[in-house]
Structure 1
C-alpha cells in the first residue's frame, strides 16, 4: 500500500495525463497527504467529469479553499453546464460564500489602515468576477468614504453598489448622505425622489433629509408643512430645531423665530449659524436685553458659543448707551474688547490738509454707508500717491444720496481726494427688476441692491470716455499700502478678478449657468476701459442682471461672471484676501495682504463678530474724527 501511495505521488508530480484524475478516490488520497496544489492542478481539466460523480467535487473545493483559489474555481464552475449536475449549484454557493468571507477579511484590513483606494479596488474586482458583493462590508466601505469625504472614490463606488444592489434603500441612503454632506442639493433631490420617497416607514433622519432638500430646492411651502408635522405639543425634536430656526430666519419671520427659540432655549444646538440668527431675531424684535437675561439664567456651564452670544448681546446693550458694568460677564467683555468698544466711541474732529484728486469705484446704500466710508478712508490714508492720480466715484442709493454727498464733501478735502457721488437712481433704469434674494438657501441673508450698482457705474464711466482703468472695491474691505501695484499688473482681458473659493454653491453656480472657465469673486475688480471687449461684456452683464427669466445664484456676481465669461485675468490673492469671521485680522496669514475682504457673515462692525478686528475700528475712528457729529449712526 505504501509503495502504491508513493507511486501515485510521483505520477501526480509528473503529468496529469497518466493518472485518471476524475476518479474522486485518487484525489482524496492526494488530499489526505495535503497535496492541495496537486489536487487543484490535476482536477481543473476534469471538472466536468468530476461534477458527474458523487463526492467528486469535494476534494477540489477543499483544495481551492486551502490554496486561496475559491474565486478562481467559482469562475471555472460557472462555465460548466448545470444540467444533470444538481450539486453544482450548492458548490457554487459555497465557493461564493468562501470568496465573500475572504474579500471581507482583506477589505476590513484595508479599512483599518484607512487604505480606501485598495478597499474599493478589491470590491470592484470581486464584483466584476462574481457579479455581486457582500453587502455588509460594502456598506462599511461606503460609510468610510462618506465620513472621510473621499469624493475622488465615491462616484465609482456608488456605481458599483447600484449595480450590485439595484433599488436598495441602504445604498440609496448612503449615497444621499454624501450629497447632503456636499450640499449638492440637485443630486440629493434626485436620489431621494428616485429611490427613497416611497419607502415606508421613513425614519426621522430620512424625514429630516427630505425637509432639507425641499428648503434648498425652492419648495419652502412643502418644507414648512413637513416641519409642522414634526412638532409635538408645539415643540420640535432636537435634531430639527436648528433647521426650524434658520428656516424662519430665511422667511423673515423673526418674531416667530424668537418665540420658538425661547421655548426651547435649553435645547438649542451650539451651532454658530443658529445662534447668529437668534441674535439677529432678538435685535429685530427689540429683545436683546430679554435674550441676555434668559441666557444668563440657564443652569450649568455654558459652552464657548453661548458665551460668545452673551458677550455679543452685552456689547449691543453697551452700544445703546446702557451701563453694563456690574452685569454678569461685563468685566470679561470690557477686558477682551476694550479697544473695539473704545474705537467705536466718537472722537474729536481732526482735519487733514487738502490735496489733489483720486478715482476708484464704490457703491453703497444706507446699510453699508458706514463701512464704505471706512474702506474709503483706509484707501486714502494708506495710498496717498495713488489717490493724487485717480478719482473716487461713489454710487449711492437714492435714500442716502444727499447724506453721502454731504459726507463726501467733508472727507474729500480732508483726505486730499476728489470724491464724486452719483445718484444710483440715475444709473439703474428700473430697480424693481433687481433681486435681493440669493438663488439658494442662506438662512435669511439677502443681497444689498447696491451690489448691482458696480455694473451700472462701470458702464456709466466707460461711456464718459475719460478713464483708462477703473478699480472697484467692496464696502466690506480694508485697504493697506501697495494698491498701486495692482494697477501695474500685466493684463490681457478686460477684467481682472480673484478666483472664488471652491465650494458646493460655486460649483452649482458654474454648472447651472453653464459657465466655461473659472468663477471669480466680484469684491475687487479691475476694469480695462481700453480693451475692445469691455463694452460688450458690461452690456451682457447688465442684460443678465435685469433678465427676469434668469435665476442667478449669486445675483450680481453671477451676472458679471456670465458677462465676462473666459475674459478674466486672475487677480493675485493679496489684492483680495478673503478674511472669514473665524480668521483673526491680526494673524500671520494676512501679513502681506493689500486688500482685506471681510467675506461671509457676520461683518466686523457686527458685535457677533468673533475677533476684535481692531484695525477696522481704527479706520472707523478716523472717519469719526473727520466727520464729527455728521457721522451717521449704525443701522
Structure 2
C-alpha cells in the first residue's frame, strides 16, 4: 500500500506527555526505514497554543503532523455512569468518533491509537491489512470479550441489527478504520446518537457506542496488535517479539509510581518526554 501511514491521536492537557510517548514509540519501532507517517493530532480546548506547538514539533521529527479541530459539543457529552471509568478518561476519548467526518476524503484509512499504548515493533503488516469489506479492524477486548459481558451494553435493542449478547466485543484502543465505509455507514452520527440516547446509563461509552454503530462489521485482529495482557512480558520475555502494540488498559499505567518496576516500564519511560513544554501538565 503506497503513501504514508496515517495515525490519529487525541489528547487533553493532562494526557500530552503520554500521547507524545505513544508517538515516540511508533516513530522508534513502528515505522520501517524509509517509511512515512502523517500524524493527525486532535487536541482538546484546554491544550495551550505553545503546548500544541511542542507536540506538532515532536511530530515533525518523524512525519507530517496535521491538526484537527473537534467541535466543542463533544466536550459537553457525559462520559460514564461508572465512577471508575469517568475518573480515568476525558472527553478527548470521544474524538475518534469524528475521524471519518473530519479527515479529508483523500485519506481512505486511519490507524487510531489511544494515548496509553506503546508500539514495540513494525506496524506495516497491520497498516496493510485487508479489512475484507469491514468498517474497521480491532481486537477482541479481553476484559469484556462479548457484548453481554460486564453487565452488557446499556440500551442495546437485540431486535435491531446483528448484535446479540454472544457477539464479539472489540476494544477501541487500536482501530484500523476504512474511512469511506465508515462515512457511508454514518459511524460518527450513529455513535453519537447512542451516547446521547443513553446518557444516563453509560458504561464504556466510546466502545459501547462504536460496537453498536459498527454492528458487527469489523475484522478481528490478532491480539498482538492490541495486547492488553501486558504483565505477561515480565514473565515471558520472548512474548515482546510477537507483540507490536502494548495497551496499558485499566487502572495501572507505566507512568505511575505504582506500576511494577521491570523491563516493560523501563522501556516505556525511555519514550516519556522530559522537556518543560511537554511535561507541565503532569
TM-score by length of 1: 0.39
Give the direction of change, closer, same or farther, for the CA distance of 1:411–1:511 in structure 2 (3 Å limit).
closer
Find the aligned partners of 2:33 and 2:213 in 1 and give their Cα distance: 29
Displacement after TM superposition at 1:468 (Å) = 1.3
Find the aligned partners of 1:506 and 1:589 in 2 and give their Cα distance: 27
Find the aligned partners of 1:400 and 1:598 in 2 and give their Cα distance: 23
Query: 1:367 aligned to 8, 11, 14, which one?
Result: 14
1:482 matched residue in structure 2: 122
1:398 partner SS: coil
Query: 2:135 aligned to 494, 510, 523, which one?
Result: 494
Find the aligned partners of 1:585 and 1:547 in 2 and give their Cα distance: 44
Give the direction of change, closer, same or farther, for the CA distance of 1:567–1:478 in structure 2 (3 Å limit).
same
Query: 1:468 aligned to 108, 119, 135, which one?
Result: 108
1:442 matched residue in structure 2: 84
1:508 partner SS: coil
Find the aligned partners of 1:553 and 1:400 in 2 and give their Cα distance: 27
Give the direction of change, closer, same or farther, for the CA distance of 1:565–1:574 in structure 2 (3 Å limit).
same
2:41 partner SS: strand
Displacement after TM superposition at 1:483 (Å) = 0.5
1:599 matched residue in structure 2: 249
Whether the 8 Å CA contact 1:577–1:595 is kept in 2: the answer is yes
Displacement after TM superposition at 1:357 (Å) = 6.7
Higher relative contact order (CA closer than 8 Å, sequence separation 6+): 2
1:559 matched residue in structure 2: 209
Whether the 8 Å CA contact 1:395–1:453 is kept in 2: the answer is yes
TM-score by length of 2: 0.83
Aligned residues: 268
1:573 matched residue in structure 2: 223
Displacement after TM superposition at 1:584 (Å) = 3.0
Displacement after TM superposition at 1:473 (Å) = 0.4
1:295 matched residue in structure 2: none
1:618 matched residue in structure 2: 270
State yes or no: 1:519 paired with 2:162.
Answer: no
Please list the CA deviations of residues 472-511 of structure 1 after superposition, one character each: whole Å capped at 9, or x if unmatched. Answer: 0010011122201012222220111111125598342247
Task: Give unmatched runs, 5+ long, in structure 2.
Answer: none
Give the direction of change, closer, same or farther, for the CA distance of 1:508–1:584 in structure 2 (3 Å limit).
same
Displacement after TM superposition at 1:466 (Å) = 1.3
Find the aligned partners of 1:546 and 1:398 in 2 and give their Cα distance: 21
Displacement after TM superposition at 1:512 (Å) = 5.3
Give the direction of change, closer, same or farther, for the CA distance of 1:419–1:401 in structure 2 (3 Å limit).
farther
Please list the CA deviations of residues 341-393 of structure 1 after superposition, one character each: whole Å capped at 9, or x if unmatched. Answer: xxxxxxxxxxxxxxx97531101011211010000011112233488444110
Please give the residue correspondences for 1:262-281 in structure 2 after superposition, counting only pairs within 5 Å.
Answer: none
Whether the 8 Å CA contact 1:456–1:542 is kept in 2: the answer is no
1:539 matched residue in structure 2: 189
Please list the CA deviations of residues 102-151 of structure 1 after superposition, one character each: whole Å capped at 9, or x if unmatched. Answer: xxxxxxxxxxxxxxxxxxxxxxxxxxxxxxxxxxxxxxxxxxxxxxxxxx
Whether the 8 Å CA contact 1:581–1:601 is kept in 2: the answer is no
Please list the CA deviations of residues 534-565 of structure 1 after superposition, one character each: whole Å capped at 9, or x if unmatched. Answer: 44233211221233556221011111111101
2:95 matched residue in structure 1: 453
Q: Which structure dedicates a bigger proportion of its chain to strand?
A: 2
Displacement after TM superposition at 1:581 (Å) = 5.7
Give the direction of change, closer, same or farther, for the CA distance of 1:584–1:562 in structure 2 (3 Å limit).
same
1:402 matched residue in structure 2: 49
Find the aligned partners of 1:365 and 1:602 in 2 and give their Cα distance: 19
Whether the 8 Å CA contact 1:519–1:561 is kept in 2: the answer is yes
Select the structure of larger CA radius of gyration.
1
2:216 partner SS: coil
Please give the residue correspondences for 1:155-194 in structure 2 after superposition, counting only pairs within 5 Å.
Answer: none
State yes or no: 1:392 paired with 2:39.
Answer: yes
Displacement after TM superposition at 1:420 (Å) = 1.4
Whether the 8 Å CA contact 2:118–2:268 is kept in 1: the answer is yes
Give the direction of change, closer, same or farther, for the CA distance of 1:478–1:534 in structure 2 (3 Å limit).
farther
Give the direction of change, closer, same or farther, for the CA distance of 1:487–1:443 in structure 2 (3 Å limit).
closer
State yes or no: 1:421 paired with 2:67.
Answer: yes
RMSD between aligned residues = 2.9
Q: Which structure dedicates a bigger proportion of its chain to helix?
A: 1
Find the aligned partners of 1:563 and 1:443 in 2 and give their Cα distance: 21
Whether the 8 Å CA contact 2:59–2:65 is kept in 1: the answer is yes
Displacement after TM superposition at 1:413 (Å) = 3.0
1:16 matched residue in structure 2: none
